[in-house]
Amino acid sequence: MNNVERHQLIISKLKESGSVNVADLCEILGVSSVTIRKDLKLLEDRQLLFRTHGGATLINPYAADRTVFEKERMQAAEKAAIAREAASLISDNDSIIIASGTTVQAMAKEIQPIGNLTVVTSALNVAVQLIKHPNIEILQLGGTLRKSSTSVAGLYAERILDDFLCSKVFLGVDGIDIEFGLTTTNVQEAHLNRKMMEVSQKVIVLADSTKFGKRGFGRICGVDEVDRIITDSGIPPHTVKALESRGVKVTVV
């Protein structure tokens, strides 16, 4: 098999599964890892793929840090549908944690509690959305305010959580990679999200389909530590299958 044929097969495999790894390509093509890595570099130079650790993907795997005002305009319809589904999971007299992000902010807009509801949140925009409800008690975490996300992070916010035990945490993320896990672009926010998970009985992630295959700077957890992911129909079927094989319930809206 010549260079062109190898490159065509690599691109074909990428289109089929979304990602490839060097070891599998070596076995399929019967060439060394050095040859495969050269092939991947050449294809990346031609802007046909993005190299990752041990392989390649069709989409840029690195999540960029954007302000909340930019992100709320992106995938707005998908986020609204995800938000409605997430809000329906809240029980009467529930105690929940809502983290930061535009998808969880959209969820806050959809919450219409019948009984009393206690919400712990790090996000100012979430608190503002909920303050109009007389039967919602809001516990706003304190700490260093990240202006780009209008949410707090840091050790002080983490320590406050030691006093709580909630039924669910609703997380927004910047990236979900099957192997690397859930990530955000800020490491302090990742640490706080991890602490939120520790004091919650269930972890529910709200993520539109553009977040899959992405990696941010701060790792929150592995995908097998998540109970449920709510996303939109743009998620590739092979990604749903991979998540479900790890024990994650995937809801597609």
In a domain, 150, yes or no: yes
Residue 127, judged by CB atoms within 10 A of its CB (0-12, 13-18, 19+), counts as buried
- Residues 196-203, mean pLDDT to the nearest whole number: 98
Between 64 and 174, the higher pLDDT residue: 174
- Domains: count for the chain: 2
Host H or E run for residue 196: helix 187-198
Do 10 and 106 have their domain in common?
no
Q: What confidence score (pLDDT) does residue 63 get?
A: 59
In a domain, 158, yes or no: yes
Give the range among 23-37, 45-59, 146-160, 212-226 with minimum mean pLDDT: 45-59
* 50 within some domain: yes
Q: What are phi and psi of 232, to 5 degrees?
A: -110, 175
Are 27 and 94 part of one and the same domain? no
CA-based R_g, the chain, Å: 20
Contact 253, 82 (CB under 8 A): yes
* Consecutive H or E run containing 220: strand 218-221
Domain span at residue 247 reads: 68-252
The whole model's pTM is what?
0.76
The answer to whether residues 74 and 111 belong to one domain is yes
CB contact at 8 A, 10 and 58: no
* Position 19 pLDDT exceeds 90: no
Q: Which of 5-14, 170-179, 198-207 has the highest mean pLDDT?
A: 198-207
What the block records as the tokens of 175 is 């990236």
